[in-house]
Structure 1
Amino acid sequence: MKKIYTLSAVLAAFMMQAQFKVTIQTPADFKDQDAILYTLNGSRDIIVTQEKGRNNVWTFKYPSHYMGMMKVYFPGTNNTINFISENKDINVKLDIQNNKIKDVLYLDEANELMSKQQEGSQKKELILPALTQIKEYYKDNTDFGKALKTEIDRLSGKSAVIDATSHPFISYYNTNYSKFLSNTADPSKKVNQDEIINFIDKSNDMLESSSLLRPLLVAYLNSGGNTNVTGSVDKLLDRLKVETPRGQTVLSELIDIFDAYQMDEFKNKYLSLAKNLKCTITDRLASTLKSNANVEMGAAFPNYKFQSPANTTAKSLYDVKADKKVIVFWSSTCSHCESELPKLLDKYNELKGKNIQVIALSLDVDKNSYTKKIAAFPWINDSELRGWNSSYVDTYNVHATPTYFILDANNKIINKPEHVGDVLEYFKVK
């Protein structure tokens, strides 16, 4: 009994030691109360907890060990702040102007260092090539030429090596970003597929929390070429084993990648593989399966409760009565929407005459832009004004705008058009 008590005490002490806090400070005129803390799994944000601010300070307690990317989202003002955790207290102060983040001050050592590192890397990748080209037009003995050379030499220098003992996550992120994803990497040291497979297979848990996994998988697919996608994926999954948590996370990421790039043949192949797994399914893969099941042909389109709908008194999507419904996910900042929605508008009266209702759910964040745009759209419009943080992104498996669905009178999915022309062709109003 004494041994059990001692073990319990050790575990309790470890949990207390592992806990850290996230503190976000804002000026007194910031008009938001709620804030949501997220961690990261692959490319998917995972909600940890929601807190209310006290005197414009939000404090989140994280109860266990975590190293990786985190974010806090303010839903009322649609502000997001990103930072890292190295399992130590995090302290961030925000400069706010007109309820929008103007500047971020990282007060803890890890995030201050990471911020400086990220700023240096961005300048190296984006600004250094431009400065190198400009230098050709200025002589070295001019003041501007000397200044250019100084800045080019500074940016060309090697980044400071981060001590992995003091800052394990920063060291992990920088080392592997430079090796696998940096645009400034030495072409002679370009990694091959086997090196990427080895890294994904042997990396510790920081791979899932680092934000590197999705771009690494895209780089892996690109390195294999478009003619051998199945061979590349099968080789990777055979090594990882899809029964393992990492194998399932990678499988989930690949399904989402194929969906985003409209590679339906490969998406369906590996979605079928995921559906037929006989092992215990991880939460990450389960969410991918659910969001895809929600929008399969013949499935009942999940209901959506409107937030601030225009051109209707209906409270939800199901309350809208029509023989057919066209659901479109769009945004006022989407160039394809800009060209496609006017074509839908031209035929709207014909569609309405056939008892076909259009319901447009926007992924906008700016209320003014959204309001101005929908003034021209007589159909039902609604938006959470949260962009890609909108609740319906996951529910309806939306990866791009515009995205269309056609529902029957019972809200079952009967068609998934790729373009507005397909919508008009389906209803023979083209």
Structure 2
Amino acid sequence: MKKLFVLSGMLFAFSMNAQFSVSIQSQPDFNEQEAILYTLNGSKDIIVTKEKSKGNTWTFKYPKNYSGMMKVYFPNTNNSVSFISENKNINIQLDTKANKIQNIIYQDESNELMNSIQESSQKKEIILPALVQIKEYYKDNTEFGKALTSEMGRLSGTSSIDQSKHPFVYYYNTNYNKFLSNNPAKKVTQEEIVNFIDKSNDMLESSSLLRPILVSYLNVGGNTNVNASVDTLINKLNVETPRGQTVLSELIDIFDVYDMNEFKTKYLTLAKDLKCTINDRLASTLKSNAATDIGAVFPDYKFHAAVNTNAKSIAEVKADKKVIVFWSSTCSHCESELPQLLTKYKELQAKNIQIIGMSLDTDKNAYTTKIAAFPWINDSELRGWNSSFAEIYNIHATPTYFILDANNKIISKPSHVGDVLQYFNVK
């Protein structure tokens, strides 16, 4: 009852105090009713509210200033559309076919401009180098040579953005070109990156730039200087500030993704030992890691459409040990590792060890075809990284393994399939 009251109260506030609106319209054959609006905090999507379709149109009212990336997700058809906000009304038209988005038409000025710049940037990075090579075979005084020169000049040009009129478009593209472009004007130093992260306004958290810039920062410092690089950064930012805590949270996740467990442990411990007020971003990281740490009881999950079992949830599966593997049919490492589990499956069964595969697939046919070869328990929401269990179990990469005891306590978190087989002495 309390949750319903909170949600209804939030929706009432949206309707009464809208700062700007987000309107998304689809074609009549798009079989979707509910849509979920998200904002962005670092690399985390934050749910804002949900809306039902009215005449194939979803209208969201946003009650305060927000400049940054936004997303609307359609859970029934597993479609999403990304766009930006500059605190102005947003209008988007979707071309759909067979319940899939074929084309996105941005009808407001800010998103039209952003989309145009992104398309030009892609052409500049992909097409321009090819035209430069082709140009060597054509003289400037030929018709084709003149056309090539003209197109190269157009692609080489820079887009002019009025910062006062389009602050987020300017912020995103200026800083992307400086810190992340494949062809930066000059190589940036770690000091420049630290100063940018320290001095940047709140659009850093909402821009989607924070994580890739942090990865770039670590790469500039080199593999042998990770400790010094991170310590320099967080000391400059101060981990008792919201920016410092968000950066610390992002770094912990980055170390998780790249299996840099020594660094993850060090900075996760730093986060746990903080005595100050913790912001939501870092609190979420601490919670998800605590729930999936060795010794914790594995959070239960109610199966969506599991095969090869009558159990209704992970906790209901009875076995002396359980191997939980998060995977996807599009994951190349899964392609090489899961067959190794298959070859030892009967030996594992003989030891009363059960395997539970949780797929982050989106394509039902690909998922169904793949699990036909896997005799263990398989389940999937078919929502990819939008699957609820990706957040619940702090999954950043596939495959990810957990080993549970008979009471669903986490007793091991193997890095690779070889570690799984070695743990059970069936390698």
Contact 1:251/1:270 (CA < 8 Å) preserved in 2?
A: yes
* 2:35 alignment counterpart: 35
In the TM superposition, what is the alpha-carbon distance from 1:145 to its structure 2 partner? Answer: 3.4
* 1:90 alignment counterpart: 90
* 1:6 alignment counterpart: none
Unmatched tracts of structure 1, length 5 or more: 1-14
Q: TM-score, normalised by structure 1?
A: 0.94
* 1:242 alignment counterpart: 239
* CA displacement, residues 27-57 of structure 1 (integer Å, 9 cap, x when unaligned): 0000111111000001111000111111110
Taking every aligned residue pair, what percent have the same amino acid on both sides?
A: 73
- Superposition CA RMSD, Å: 1.4
* 2:71 alignment counterpart: 71
> How far apart, in 2, do the equivalents of 1:394 and 1:60 lie?
24
In the TM superposition, what is the alpha-carbon distance from 1:158 to its structure 2 partner? Answer: 2.2
> How far apart, in 2, do the equivalents of 1:405 and 1:17 lie?
46
> How far apart, in 1, do the equivalents of 2:107 and 2:270 lie?
46
**Structural mapping, 1:393-404, within 5 Å:** 393-404=390-401
- Indicate which of 186, 192, 196 corresponds to 1:195: 192
* CA displacement, residues 365-399 of structure 1 (integer Å, 9 cap, x when unaligned): 00111111111111100001111111111111111
Amino acid corresponding to residue 363 of structure 1 in structure 2: L
What SS does the aligned partner of 1:318 have? coil
The answer to whether the aligner puts 1:109 opposite 2:106 as a matched pair is: no
**Structural mapping, 1:81-230, within 5 Å:** 81-160=81-160, 162-186=161-185, 189-230=186-227
Q: TM-score, normalised by structure 2?
A: 0.94
What SS does the aligned partner of 2:230 have? helix
> How far apart, in 2, do the equivalents of 1:306 and 1:138 lie?
62
> How far apart, in 1, do the equivalents of 2:268 and 2:126 lie?
37
Amino acid corresponding to residue 309 of structure 2 in structure 1: T
In the TM superposition, what is the alpha-carbon distance from 1:137 to its structure 2 partner? Answer: 3.5
In the TM superposition, what is the alpha-carbon distance from 1:232 to its structure 2 partner? Answer: 1.0
What SS does the aligned partner of 2:276 have? coil
After TM superposition, the structure 1 stretch with the greater mean CA deviation from structure 2, 64-73 or 388-397, is 388-397
Contact 2:26/2:95 (CA < 8 Å) preserved in 1?
A: yes
Contact 2:18/2:61 (CA < 8 Å) preserved in 1?
A: no
> How far apart, in 1, do the equivalents of 2:262 and 2:29 lie?
51
* 2:55 alignment counterpart: 55
> How far apart, in 2, do the equivalents of 1:276 and 1:134 lie?
59
Q: Which ranges of 4 or more aligned residues in structure 1 deviate by more than 6 Å? A: 15-18
What SS does the aligned partner of 2:37 have? strand
* CA displacement, residues 69-107 of structure 1 (integer Å, 9 cap, x when unaligned): 000011111111000000011110000011111001011
Contact 1:18/1:87 (CA < 8 Å) preserved in 2?
A: no
What SS does the aligned partner of 2:305 have? coil
Contact 1:18/1:65 (CA < 8 Å) preserved in 2?
A: no
Contact 2:298/2:408 (CA < 8 Å) preserved in 1?
A: yes
What SS does the aligned partner of 2:315 have? helix
> How far apart, in 1, do the equivalents of 2:44 and 2:125 lie?
26
> How far apart, in 1, do the equivalents of 2:17 and 2:169 lie?
21
> How far apart, in 1, do the equivalents of 2:18 and 2:129 lie?
43
> How far apart, in 2, do the equivalents of 1:310 and 1:141 lie?
68
> How far apart, in 2, do the equivalents of 1:55 and 1:183 lie?
43
In the TM superposition, what is the alpha-carbon distance from 1:17 to its structure 2 partner? Answer: 7.8
> How far apart, in 2, do the equivalents of 1:142 and 1:348 lie?
67
